[in-house]
Structure 1
Amino acid sequence: MTSAVTTDTSARPGYGQLLRTPGALGFVLPGFAARLPFGMLTISILLLVQHTTGSYASAGIVSAVTGISMALFAPVMGSLTDRHGQSAVLVPGVLAHAAAVGGLVALALADAPLWALAAAAVPTGASVPQVGPMVRARWAARLEGSPLLPTAAAFESVTDEFTFVVGPVLATALCTGVHPAAGLATEAVLTLVGGLVFAARRASQPRAHAHHEGAAVRRGSALAHPGLRVLIAAFLGIGAVFGGMQVSLAAFSNEIGNPGANGVLYGVFAAGNMIAGIACGAIAWKIGPRRRLLLGYAGLTAAASVLWTADSALLLGGLGLLVGLCIAPALITGYTMVEALVPANARTEAFTWLTGAVAFGQAVAVIVAGNLTDAHGSAYGFLVPMAGTVLAFATLVALRARLAPKAPSRVVGASAARTDTSEGRGVGHRTPVTVD
């Protein structure tokens, strides 16, 4: 059983202080190893299927089915995790994922028809282990009500983006330099080994919240909270950026006669996200999360709206870096707000809804960008991130009032203290964390 951490209110939150949290390194390190393959999955599918079919549209469909399946099943996996514990869900999940990836690779290499590849993509996406949300849930349980929680969210964003720096570059190198299926094969092995090691770290797992009555399940549903639904809309737009750029960067690299540049360009984009994430975690913010989310998303929308103008690898790299710098504040703030908007017994599910929203937005973007790229070239594919962020930002602005927690929960520390009391756990002194 985990317990909340009492934080020294005089200490300035920082990464060093965060990693000195008791038990943190025990789940951070294996958690990183287990989620590194996530950055390899869709781009490995894209490159393998494009190689075997010769079509970005077909590759986009298979990648999209994978992403949609993950988006639909991730909240189910998150809900099961909240109810039964992380290891009980993760161990069978990684075994199923490795088997599903193996089946998809075999079909692709056998020149199976598109419908068969799409069918195989369903279990591949549905079984993607939700290690990132599980790590975030461990941080939330350890730091509930602590001023270190935004730092933890920033740290997790940096970790995610580091996987998206290393993952695409590694996958591209394996697929173009070793074998078209090498990226997916490596992803399956890393997922299996890393996931099993992470699942074995049971001491830091949040307490499971088993339900036995239908009414209790409904009360604990993360999706019942309107603020989370607004965040889901925002994260759909972020997914559109990831998906649109994956397809369009690959097509652009082929257009300039240098397919290997794809991994570098995507790595630069992800590096911008990572750099901004490090900066966000080091800043002692004076403005509330809701305002930070709106400002960060406004910057992301503006940056994504000019990608289509790039006519050289250097310019595209610079614009990609700028987009990456703008994504991190929106992602970090959205994840941070979950503590104030969703009760503890549904947080893993809430995190998987956000992760699933990114995957779903990415999947739709891959399909649309793939068709646009096949028909008109990479410049048209870059219109997808622009459209996705504009629509999501408009929704975010219109529904921003829903991002404020109810009045009794205005101070997160007080709400957390009440939750801990109701669960029979003692708590130390909390620093109130204002929401806006």
Structure 2
Amino acid sequence: MTARRTVDSPTAPARAGYGALLRTPGAWTFLAPAFAARLPYAMLSLGIVLLVLKTHGSYGTAGTVAAVSAVAQALVGPQTGRLADRYGQAAVLLPSVAVHALSVGALIALALGHAPAWALFLAAAPAGASVPQIGAMVRARWVGRLSDQPAMLNTAFAFESVTDEFTFVVGPVLATAIATQVSPAAGLIAEATLTVAGGLAFAAQRRTAPVRHPRVEGARRVSALASPGVRLLAASFLGVGTVFGAMQVSVTAFTESIGRGSASGTVYGIFAGGSMVAGVLYGMVGWKRSARQRMLFCYALLVVGCSTLWAMPNLVALTIAGLFCGLAIAPTLITGYTLVETLVADGAKTEAFTWLTGAIGLGLAIGSTVAGQLIDRSGPSAGFLVPVAGAGIGLAALVALRRLLVAPGTRSRTVARSAGAAPRGAKIAAAES
């Protein structure tokens, strides 16, 4: 039985500083390659949209191909997270990056050859399914190294969310610049190259990898998704994903409609930049409110921020509205990852993180597909109705089922782990309960 720590107490420990976190021995050996490997995550969907839009001329087709990739990632990602918990991260990463490179290459060739949409779907599915779950793996490494330092671990989750947002600042700008200045295919080529190089370099850092939790004969292994709280958080992250997906397609359509197509990456980057700045500041505060209360508040701010996007009359107004919408993204994600880590035992943490990441990807797929269809039928502004609808449904679920976000304390679901392993969360749970 493995106890879980709880962050629902209003007297949770103050956060440690980012400087102290980055001085953790061995941190930079996995952080640097991880950044290179996770940057393509923010390039893949937009790169697909830009390429397919150029070759097939339909926002609906482009959004649907990107959606197929995102759905595949959402469904397969948690399974690779479970395999990483059991067999180790390197064992999962090496075949993943190989499949990803081949799949993206096939997608590029089919798109340039003006293949039918169903053929693009067949290539997009393995391309998305093989995206390395680097963000979840990095968080699992932090948990393995800082499980007895809750203040430092909270800061690590904040740092990771800020890093995610930074990739969403740089990634869209980079993908758009390469696609418009070189060729639409070049954006995806760059994405695949970074995925392979960064993924292999990250996999090579075995000294900082978390302890494997191989299956023990006779022990029952339960999925992280068996936790009602994890399912609720995944549903709420689905809503956040619709914001990402709809924004990518809608911003591209809006800028194209006014003859400023090359500005789409910049506008989306500013949206992500607002999230990144908010995440940095959020991680510096020693919050006295419980994580559950913060989750509800941050998510409500996200809904408010999304509510004005559809009414923006010009590019400047849209950029400002996108900036304010983005301010709520990182705080919501940081709090969600902090909560989910308390709801599962040690042998399922990577899987739990990948369920949240996968939910974002699935929401991105839904958002990009619905927004693309609305844009084709009613114009660019219609696509901006999707973020407020998706986030609104997510908020309603959180409010109605918020009691599920309370960590179960010392009660534990049986998760297989090595014989004799110490219950690493027990001291933390006792200290904070």
How would you bin the TM-score normalised by the shorter chain? over 0.9
For the aligned residue pairs, the C-alpha RMSD in angstroms reads: 2.2
Question: Could you tell me which amino acid in structure 2 is paired with residue 36 of structure 1?
Answer: L
Deviation at 1:150, TM superposition (A): 1.4
Is 1:277 paired with 2:279?
yes
Deviation at 1:190, TM superposition (A): 0.7
In the alignment, what sits opposite 2:326?
Answer: 324
In the alignment, what sits opposite 1:5?
Answer: none
1:142-291 equivalence runs, <5 A? 142-146=145-149, 147-213=151-217, 216-218=220-222, 221-291=223-293
Deviation at 1:202, TM superposition (A): 0.2
Between the two proteins, the alignment pairs up a number of residues equal to 418
In the alignment, what sits opposite 1:423?
Answer: 421
Question: Could you tell me which amino acid in structure 2 is paired with residue 43 of structure 1?
Answer: L
CA contact (8 A) 2:147 2:424 kept: no
Question: Could you tell me which amino acid in structure 2 is paired with residue 314 of structure 1?
Answer: V
Separation (CA, whole Å) in 2 of partners of 1:319 and 1:196: 39
Deviation at 1:357, TM superposition (A): 0.2
Match of 2:99 among 69, 86, 96: 96
Deviation at 1:407, TM superposition (A): 3.9
Question: 1 or 2 for the larger relative contact order (CA 8 Å, sep ≥6)?
Answer: 2
In the alignment, what sits opposite 1:398?
Answer: 400
Q: Secondary structure at the match of 1:148?
A: helix
Separation (CA, whole Å) in 2 of partners of 1:431 and 1:52: 55
Separation (CA, whole Å) in 2 of partners of 1:276 and 1:421: 43
Separation (CA, whole Å) in 2 of partners of 1:59 and 1:67: 12
1:2-401 equivalence runs, <5 A? 13-146=16-149, 147-213=151-217, 216-218=220-222, 221-401=223-403
Deviation at 1:22, TM superposition (A): 1.6
Unaligned runs of 5+ in 2: 1-11
TM-score normalised by the chain length of structure 2: 0.93
Q: Secondary structure at the match of 2:327?
A: helix
In the alignment, what sits opposite 1:6?
Answer: none
Separation (CA, whole Å) in 2 of partners of 1:349 and 1:364: 22
In the alignment, what sits opposite 1:3?
Answer: none
Separation (CA, whole Å) in 1 of partners of 2:13 and 2:66: 48
Deviation at 1:420, TM superposition (A): 11
CA contact (8 A) 1:82 1:209 kept: yes
Separation (CA, whole Å) in 1 of partners of 2:129 and 2:182: 28
Separation (CA, whole Å) in 1 of partners of 2:218 and 2:171: 41
Question: Could you tell me which amino acid in structure 2 is paired with residue 402 of structure 1?
Answer: L
Q: Secondary structure at the match of 1:408?
A: coil
CA contact (8 A) 2:274 2:327 kept: yes
Question: Could you tell me which amino acid in structure 1 is paired with residue 172 of structure 2?
Answer: P
Over 3 Å counting, the alpha-carbon distance change for 1:243 and 1:311 in structure 2 is: same
Unaligned runs of 5+ in 1: 1-8
Separation (CA, whole Å) in 1 of partners of 2:388 and 2:77: 26
In the alignment, what sits opposite 2:7?
Answer: none
Deviation at 1:217, TM superposition (A): 2.0
TM-score normalised by the chain length of structure 1: 0.92
Question: Could you tell me which amino acid in structure 2 is paired with residue 208 of structure 1?
Answer: R
